[in-house]
Amino acid sequence: MATLILVRHGQSTWNAANRFSGWVDVPLNRVGRQEAMQAAKKISSYCIDVCFTSKLVRAIETTAICLTEGTGACHDKSPVFKHDFDDSDWHGWDKYEGYIEQEIPIFINPALDERYYGDLQGFNKAKMAEKVGKHIVHQWRRSLDTRPPGGESLKDTAARTIPFFQNRILTHLKNGDNVLVSAHGNSLRSILMHLDHLSPEEVPHLELATGIPIVYKIDAEANITNKVIL
């Protein structure tokens, strides 16, 4: 039996300002760091074997806090970021030998990035609702297949997150590894939509709070046996 922990990053500076973030690389604020520390305490009883996160700093910060601030069951293990994506700027000097069993590998991958909000990025959500209507903004933010201007729909986001989940994350779970995924509201919504078999009518009601871990128990055949929100 393996454990999958999904956690949306803590509050970012643009979450606090009610702005569309998307792929804009904004950091956590003080509240967000506190939320990540609370998440670290909540998951401290789980021994994490491997972690996945996006390329955006708010998810990376949350990952680091979750794996270093708790008094975890595997507190003797050191988290190490693994740059396994195709990044021509990465110098590749992080080769070393030994002590692999004492580490928690953290894989950074753009497949887990937040949905791209296109032309909306940077705009205040409430002011945009005043401009175009609350219903339109709600569709852009919560529906399955409505794209914001120049951006991705949740369905578009799922087209990259779900294959990554199936090909990379699920492989570890089937092997019995406990996996932490620290990502974003919409990249995680798309994975939850897949895991919980949500219908298009149910998707608009799915919303994830910042810094709240969701824990699944998964067997070797990839069946979910339990789900808990911490």
Instruction: Catalytic residue, from 9, 35, 172, 184: name it.
Output: 9
Q: 48: Cβ–Cβ under 8 A, 6 or more apart, which residues? A: 5, 67, 72, 74, 77, 104, 178, 179, 180
Question: Is 202 labeled as catalytic in the residue annotation?
Answer: no
Residues annotated within the binding site are 8-15, 21-22, 58, 114-117, 125, 141-142, 185-186
Instruction: For 165-217, write each residue's pLDDT tens digit.
Output: 999 999 999 999 999 999 999 999 999 999 999 998 898 889 899 999 999 99
Contact indicator for 6, 195 with CB cutoff of 8 Å: no
Total domain count, the chain: 1
Residue 99 has pLDDT above 70, yes or no: no
Q: In whole angstroms, what is the distance from residue 139 CA to residue 129 CA?
A: 11
Residue 72 pLDDT = 60
Question: Is 205 labeled as catalytic in the residue annotation?
Answer: no
Domain residues for the domain of 84 are: 2-229
Instruction: For 187-199, write each residue's pLDDT tens digit.
Output: 999 999 999 999 9
> What value does the mean pLDDT of the chain take?
92
Contact indicator for 29, 35 with CB cutoff of 8 Å: no
Mean pLDDT for the stretch of residues 3-15: 98
Residue 71 pLDDT = 57
Residue 25 has pLDDT above 70, yes or no: yes
Instruction: For 68-84, write each residue's pLDDT tens digit.
Output: 986 566 667 889 998 76
Residue 95 pLDDT = 72
Q: 95: Cβ–Cβ under 8 A, 6 or more apart, which residues? A: none
Instruction: Catalytic residue, from 35, 114, 152, 172: name it.
Output: 114
Domain with 135 in it: what CATH number?
A: 3.40.50.1240
Residue 221 pLDDT = 86
Residues annotated within the binding site for substrate are 8-15, 21-22, 58, 114-117, 125, 141-142, 185-186
Sheet strands (E) in 2-158: 2-8, 50-53, 78-82, 103-108
Residue 161 pLDDT = 98
